[in-house]
Amino acid sequence: MTSATAIADAVNSGAVTAMSVLEHCLSGLEREGGRLVAVTRLLADRARREAEAVDAIVAAGGDPGPLAGVPYGVKDLFDVAGLPTTAGSSLYADAPPATADAEAIGKLRAAGAVLVATLNMDEFAYGFATINAHHGTTRNPHDLDRLAGGSSGGSAAVVAAGLLPFSLGSDTNGSVRVPASLTGIYGLKPTHDGLPMGGVLPFAHSFDDVGPFTLSIQDMQCVWSVLAGATSSPRTGALRIARLDGRFRDNADPGQIEAIDAIAPDAPLIELPDIGAARSAAFLITAAEGGALHRAALARDPIAFDPATRDRLIAGALLPPELYAAAQDFKARYRQQVNALIADYDVLLAPATPCVAPLIADPRIRIDGAWSPARADLGIHSQPISFTGLPSLSVPLNRPGKLPIGIQLIGKAGDEATLFRFAAMLEEEGRIGVTSPAGLFQGDSV
């Protein structure tokens, strides 16, 4: 697997051309994308035009940008000019095409990146599994019989397989962090409203954020800086770390707890208040906003929806407005309470998912000792963090030979730079890092 920054350096120096990188990438996606069920549309013609433009700038002695010639894909809810924005649903397969690219795609193009594909997702981003009735279930490159997670599963799978050096997803209640954990890569939910959402079909605006997937923390910092349009300085000096207790340790893989305690053995254990209530309120707000967004389409053609999505959206559309308002009031109070509780800490450590990737044939997980549907509950640890609006970075634990799993590094609002600094330290120490899927895709990296 080759990093985004390494590709950009090689293209900028003239060591390789953007076109040669792209053709290798297209070959891999055409050959292996079917096994992963990750790609919904391959944008070869557009990608070749963008790669040609990058090579022309380099040939003229110019600088195409920090992501020069780097191929990437986006979750199938980003507007791509000339294509309908389907959000993983057959309902909008014949919708009028987008008239412009999503704002995030525009920023990446200006930085030299080359858009190659749109990627599979749970319909309308409603799920943690990327089980899609129209496109199929995305498979985990570490074990094709297992889920990749969701709802940005296609975006995670192609990066974990080494077929793309980075991709974009969206994270409402864990839709970047869950698949990042299950496929063993880096995935960021930024500070809420910290990255441009223009031209991204919403799910629940109270929590929706654009989030990148990468193979290294250096790549993550680069992509985030391009999207944010700025760089920021991390906190200096010794970082103050805390470990999240209570529900975050009740439902966790033993390897996660062991890794968290080894990273910060002397860090205090703190418990966020009312986790159950926070997750319930997040479910309610998500359902209500999603239901309201799709109310007209549900009334017009309910059969066109995936049944699993349709029933949840209908339930959300029927929620009383006063219940939604009460949940929003609780969210505002809760965020103030959590900010006060964590004021003395720079980074909080928590599991990203409660377990490794479940089997596709039996998509259930153990929560509080009972079996629960993975599609609904893989976000048990990510959803409460979304409720706070704080940035959270899922990082892959370094455990070669085992199925991947990640932990969350959670920071203060607007302080992604400190999360990147801490992750770089853990990466250098060998505690976290990406490992190749065993025997599947190593020869196909860009």
CB 358 within 8 A of CB 364: yes
First to last CA, the chain: 6
Taking alpha carbons only, the member of 413, 411, 415, 377 closest to residue 394 is 411
In Å, how far from its chain's centre is CA 428?
23
Q: Which two tokens stand for residue 163?
A: 């077929």
Between 26-35, 188-197, 237-246, 300-309, the lowest mean confidence (pLDDT) is in: 300-309
Pairing of strands 406-411, 347-351: antiparallel
At 442, is the pLDDT very low, low, confident or very high (cuts 50, 70, 90)?
very low
CB 286 within 8 A of CB 382: no
Give the mean model confidence (pLDDT) for residues 185-200: 98
Secondary structure letter of residue 357 according to DSSP? P
**Residue 278, CA distances (Å) to 178, 249, 259, 381 in order:** 18, 17, 26, 11
Task: Count up the domains in the chain and report the number.
Answer: 1
The residues, any chain, with a CB within 8 Å of residue 218's CB and separated by 6 or more, are: 3, 5, 424
Summarize pLDDT for 421-438 with one digit per residue, the tens: 999 999 999 999 999 885
**Could you tell me what percent of the chain has a pLDDT over 70?**
98
CA dihedral 158, 160, 164, 170 (to 10 degrees): 70
Secondary structure letter of residue 136 according to DSSP? E
Give the mean model confidence (pLDDT) for residues 251-280: 96
How far is it, in rounded angstroms, from Cα 67 to Cα 4? 7
How far is it, in rounded angstroms, from Cα 338 to Cα 314? 32
Q: Which two tokens stand for residue 48?
A: 């070749």
pLDDT for the residue numbered 308: 83
Residue 272: is its pLDDT beyond 50? yes
Catalytic status, residue 175? yes
CB 211 within 8 A of CB 75: no
| Domain containing residue 240: CATH number | 3.90.1300.10
Q: Scanning the structure block, which residue is given the tokens 């008239």?
A: 99
Taking alpha carbons only, the member of 196, 170, 8, 219 closest to residue 102 is 196
How far is it, in rounded angstroms, from Cα 43 to Cα 76? 12
SS3 110: helix
**Catalytic choice (152, 167, 170, 175):** 175
pLDDT for the residue numbered 443: 43
In which domain, by residue range, is 130 found? 4-444
How far is it, in rounded angstroms, from Cα 396 to Cα 185? 5
How far is it, in rounded angstroms, from Cα 16 to Cα 24? 12
**Catalytic choice (3, 89, 151, 394):** 151
**Residue 367, CA distances (Å) to 140, 250, 383 in order:** 22, 9, 15
Give the mean model confidence (pLDDT) for residues 325-347: 97
**Could you tell me what percent of the chain has a pLDDT over 90?**
91
pLDDT for the residue numbered 440: 47
Question: Count of alpha carbons within 13 Å of 303, Cβ hemisphere only?
Answer: 0
The angle subtended at Cα 77 by Cα 75 and Cα 81, nearest 5°, is: 100
Residue 197: is its pLDDT beyond 80? yes
Q: Which two tokens stand for residue 129?
A: 């599994």
At 446, is the pLDDT very low, low, confident or very high (cuts 50, 70, 90)?
low
